[in-house]
Amino acid sequence: MTAQEAFTMMVKDEIAPALRELGFKGSGQRFTLPSETHWALLGLQKFTWSDRDRVDFTANVTVVGRDVWEAQRAERPHLPARPSANTYYGTYAWQTRIGALAGRGEDAIWRVSPDRPTDRVAAEFVTAVRDHVLPAMRTRITVAEPRL
């Protein structure tokens, strides 16, 4: 098994079910915290140097009001109907990396190797989401955003 395959299995079998228990919806590397008023997105991002022997990954977080997103789409027709956590859009969206929220600096990086169990990596990642990402997302959803 390659590190890429181990990463895919870990996300599917360990991370995704745990994120769903926390209230997220989604699969693969894209997850959404349901909200009628905001897009609240979590995106896993593999670093470009990842290969068959190791996968290094982090997560990006985006929260943007749905009305703000639609106003931006009206001005910028190239924007998709739904934002992606792994794309930077500008100051109208609150975007950060998981490491910044966890107080670890800009990037918190987790590594998957083909010869090591993934349960500890998955548990550490989910703990960071539970303890840092989820509260920050909920705060951003409940705090009134400035309107454009």
- For the chain, how many residues are written? 148
Name the percent of the chain lying above pLDDT 90. 90
Cα–Cα distance between 23 and 123 in angstroms, integer? 16
Judged against a pLDDT cut of 60, whether residue 147 lies above it is answered with no
* For range 106-122, the mean pLDDT: 93
What is the per-residue pLDDT across 8-40, written as a single tens digit (0 to 9) for each?
999 999 999 999 999 999 999 999 999 999 999
pLDDT band at 144 (very low <50, low <70, confident <90, very high): low
Sign, CA dihedral 24-25-27-28, equals negative
What is the pTM assigned to this prediction?
0.91
Least confident piece of the model among 2-16, 77-91, 93-107, 112-126: 93-107
